[in-house]
């Protein structure tokens, strides 16, 4: 009998323990399933967040690209002249907006007024330039150099130069900057009021590089008889002496070596014997001579 009760007790205990283990296993399984579902939901939420973030980033890039494509040529220039890196070579945004700029010449400088910034198209393409880029000279000049502005679909090149060159020469010059329009729009698109500034920028067609070939004899005066041949380094001094009516006074002045600018015009400076700037001459490709004083003002 005693053995019988012991057997019954053992069976009962075993059954209880088995029930406990089974319940624990069920609980652990359900807990693991909940944890797995929670991890899956968290992972899905994270993926959705990353996807939304990537979509937003892509959308912003597309929006910026679309806005750049909508810019006019004058708006691109207006954005570019806001950048402080080019303020030495162009009339900058603040100066144009305030209708006043400081022109710095070799012999000194002076403040000048400006209401419209005029960009004149170059008669020929700059060697090695991107196919989508058009080049202009900006007037008035801010110094004893030509301001060259190249405008492309996504970039603007601004350079101060005293001679013609290739695109790579301009782009790698210390007096030049190549600017990205997407970056310019991000920096100055909201704060600079560039659209209003663009109204002060105008574009004109430049003189044809072969303009002298189409000048009729009737349109040429006797005083311009020396303009019949092409202006070169060898004869530019002759053009100036014909303009002055006498030989240049090399005893009193030093005349710098003539240089050709991007427009095809020739020019050289006049210095006194101490090296101070006294003036300069510009001879256009069709032989027209203009004389300037030490401040860059035209002498009539």
Q: Which two tokens stand for residue 273?
A: 């014997």
User: 160, 177, 204: which is the final residue of a domain?
Assistant: 204
Predicted pLDDT of residue 286: 81
- 264 and 158 in one domain? no
User: 204, 235, 266: which is the final residue of a domain?
Assistant: 204
Express each pLDDT in 4-30 by its tens digit.
Answer: 444 444 444 444 444 444 344 334 444
At residue 285, the 3 state secondary structure works out as coil
Domain count, the chain: 2
Q: Identify the CATH number of the domain in which residue 192 sits.
A: 3.30.1460
Q: Is residue 59 a part of any domain in this protein?
A: no
State the CB neighbour count (10 A cutoff) for residue 39: 10
Predicted pLDDT of residue 242: 83
- 194 and 253 in one domain? no
- 174 and 265 in one domain? no
Closest CA to 238 of 266, 219, 215: 266
Closest CA to 178 of 159, 164, 153, 196: 159
Q: Is residue 271 a part of any domain in this protein?
A: yes
Sequence-distant (6+) residues with CB within 8 A of 198 are 72, 74, 75, 77, 78
- 194 and 259 in one domain? no
State the CB neighbour count (10 A cutoff) for residue 91: 24
Q: Is residue 212 a part of any domain in this protein?
A: no
At residue 52, the 3 state secondary structure works out as helix
- 253 and 133 in one domain? no
Residue 10: which H helix or E strand, with range? helix 2-69
Predicted pLDDT of residue 138: 95
Predicted pLDDT of residue 40: 52
State the CB neighbour count (10 A cutoff) for residue 99: 12
Predicted pLDDT of residue 209: 40
Whether this model's pTM surpasses 0.85:
no
At residue 73, the 3 state secondary structure works out as helix
**Domain limits for position 123:** 73-204
User: 152, 172, 204: which is the final residue of a domain?
Assistant: 204
Q: Is residue 68 a part of any domain in this protein?
A: no
Predicted pLDDT of residue 207: 55
Q: Is residue 186 a part of any domain in this protein?
A: yes
- 126 and 163 in one domain? yes
- 263 and 142 in one domain? no
- 240 and 184 in one domain? no
Q: Is residue 8 a part of any domain in this protein?
A: no
- 179 and 262 in one domain? no
Residues of the chain with pLDDT under 70: 1-66, 106-108, 206-229, 300
Q: Is residue 266 a part of any domain in this protein?
A: yes
Predicted pLDDT of residue 190: 84
CA dihedral 48, 53, 56, 60 (to 10 degrees): -160
Express each pLDDT in 98-149 by its tens digit.
Answer: 998 888 776 567 788 888 999 999 988 899 999 999 999 999 888 888 999 9
Predicted pLDDT of residue 36: 53
In terms of C-beta density within 10 A (0-12 exposed, 13-18 middle, 19 or more buried), how is residue 208 classed?
middle
- 267 and 199 in one domain? no
């Amino acid at each position: 009998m005693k053995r019988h009760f012991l057997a019954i007790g053992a069976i009962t205990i075993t059954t209880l323990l088995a029930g406990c283990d089974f319940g624990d296993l069920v609980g652990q399984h359900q807990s693991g399933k909940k944890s797995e579902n929670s991890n899956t939901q968290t992972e899905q939420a994270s993926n959705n967040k990353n996807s939304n973030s990537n979509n937003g980033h892509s959308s912003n890039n597309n929006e910026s690209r679309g806005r750049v494509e909508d810019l006019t040529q004058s708006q691109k220039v207006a954005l570019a002249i806001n950048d402080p890196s080019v303020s030495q070579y162009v009339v900058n945004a603040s100066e144009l907006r305030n209708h006043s700029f400081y022109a710095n010449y070799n012999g000194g400088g002076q403040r000048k007024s400006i209401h419209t910034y005029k960009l004149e198209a170059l008669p020929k393409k700059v060697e090695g330039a991107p196919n989508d880029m058009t080049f202009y000279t900006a007037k008035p000049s801010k110094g004893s150099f030509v301001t060259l502005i190249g405008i492309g679909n996504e970039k603007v090149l601004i350079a101060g130069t005293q001679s013609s060159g290739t695109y790579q020469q301009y782009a790698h010059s210390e007096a030049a900057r190549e600017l990205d329009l997407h970056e310019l729009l991000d920096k100055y698109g909201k704060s600079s009021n560039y659209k209003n500034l663009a109204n002060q920028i105008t574009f004109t067609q430049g003189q044809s590089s072969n303009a002298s070939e189409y000048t009729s004899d009737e349109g040429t005066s006797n005083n311009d008889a020396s303009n019949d041949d092409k202006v070169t380094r060898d004869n530019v001094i002759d053009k100036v002496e014909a303009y002055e009516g006498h030989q240049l006074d090399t005893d009193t002045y030093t005349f710098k070596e003539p240089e050709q600018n991007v427009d095809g015009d020739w020019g050289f400076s006049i210095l006194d014997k101490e090296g101070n700037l006294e003036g300069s001459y510009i001879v256009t490709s069709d032989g027209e001579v203009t004389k300037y004083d030490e401040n860059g003002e035209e002498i009539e």
